[in-house]
Structure 1
Amino acid sequence: MQEYKNKEELIAEIEKTAHLFITEFDSVEEGDQDKILEGVDRSPAQMIAYQLGWMNLLLGWDRDELAGKEVVTPALNYKWNKLGGLYENFYKQYEACTLSELKSLYRECVAELILWLDSFSDEDLFGQDVRKWASSTPSKWPIWKWIHINTVAPFQTFRSKIRKWKKLNRAAIQ
């Protein structure tokens, strides 16, 4: 896993990988957003919904903790070892959106995430036990690691998935 010296490096990496991921969808036709192809486990719409779901969970965990609410990670009624249902919930939440709407929601969420991230000091972002939600698992990760695992890492992984999906879709059309 990549290590960061400060929040500016993390923000720059999020901005870069977020942009690379979402621009892959510029060449996907609106009518193909829900198409699942053999060899890729998600449709283009599901790939974006997955990203939106995790970014919104991060933001929500922090918002809830600051409001004095008890935070349940990953989400109420979901366990870390059974995330399939959570992903299905993400897909259902955004299923009525067009591809264009999903891309717009994604860009807005990334911008909100960057603003939230910028509100932390380096000490808070890289320190231990700053937020209860970040210390809620045995790993007791600092906040930056939660952010990386739920943004940069999947942006990169899913960029490969959408590229594979586009290649398979082109081959199926020809």
Structure 2
Amino acid sequence: MQGYKDKTEFIEELKKRYLLYDKEFNDIKEEDKDLLQPEVDKTPSQNISYQLGWTHLLLQWESDESKGIEVKTPTPEYKWNNLGGLYQSFYHEYGSYSLQQQRDLLRNQVDKIITWIENLDDETLFTPEQRKWATTPAQWPVWKWIHINTVAPFKNFRAQLRKWKKEKGTA
């Protein structure tokens, strides 16, 4: 997994990957947002709903911990061995929105994450065990949790969207 020399590099990569990801939705028609293609495991709406779900959880974990609320990851309703159920909850929660509304929601979430990163000191961002919600046997620092739920899937899911469009014949 890639690392970052500092907060600025991390934010720039996050912005870059988000903008490239978001751009893939420009030529997807609203009436096609729920269309599943045989070689792609998510519809465009599910693809962005997944991103909305995880970015919301990141922000929720941080918000809850700052209020002194015990955080149960990924959620009190879903354990790590039931991510499929969690993903279905994301699709249910965000799937009724139009594609443009989903894009607007995600842009807002990404903006909040960037502001959050900007306001973290380097120790909190880059040193393990700085947040209870981020303290796991893997000993990941906060940046890694943010990365695997933003930058990494923005790259991977962009490729899925491109494949979806190719199969549909619109790429």
Alignment-derived partner of residue 28 in structure 2: 28
Is residue 157 of structure 1 aligned with residue 171 of structure 2?
A: no
The one-letter code of the counterpart of 2:153 is P
What is the CA deviation profile of residues 15-60 of structure 1, one whole-angstrom value per residue up to 9, with x for unaligned ones?
0000000100000011000001100000000100100100110000
* CA shift for structure 1 position 128: 1.9
Is residue 100 of structure 1 aligned with residue 100 of structure 2?
A: yes
Q: How does 1:1-174 map to 2 (within 5 A)?
A: 1-135=1-135, 137-170=136-169
Return the TM-score normalized by structure 1.
0.95
Q: For the aligned residues, what is the CA RMSD?
A: 0.9
* CA shift for structure 1 position 82: 2.0
Runs of at least 5 residues in structure 2 that lack an aligned partner in the other structure: none
CA distance in 2, matches of 1:109, 1:144: 16
- Identity level (%): 50
The one-letter code of the counterpart of 1:65 is E
Q: The residue matched to 2:26 in structure 1 has which SS? A: helix
CA distance in 2, matches of 1:10, 1:16: 10
* CA shift for structure 1 position 77: 2.2
Q: The residue matched to 1:81 in structure 2 has which SS? A: helix
The one-letter code of the counterpart of 1:170 is G
* CA shift for structure 1 position 117: 1.1
The one-letter code of the counterpart of 1:51 is Q
CA distance in 2, matches of 1:66, 1:103: 27
CA distance in 1, matches of 2:149, 2:88: 17
CA distance in 2, matches of 1:49, 1:117: 22
Runs of at least 5 residues in structure 1 that lack an aligned partner in the other structure: none
The one-letter code of the counterpart of 1:73 is T
What is the CA deviation profile of residues 89-120 of structure 1, one whole-angstrom value per residue up to 9, with x for unaligned ones?
00000121001111111111111110111110
The one-letter code of the counterpart of 1:104 is D
The one-letter code of the counterpart of 1:17 is R
Return the TM-score normalized by structure 2.
0.97
* CA shift for structure 1 position 127: 1.1
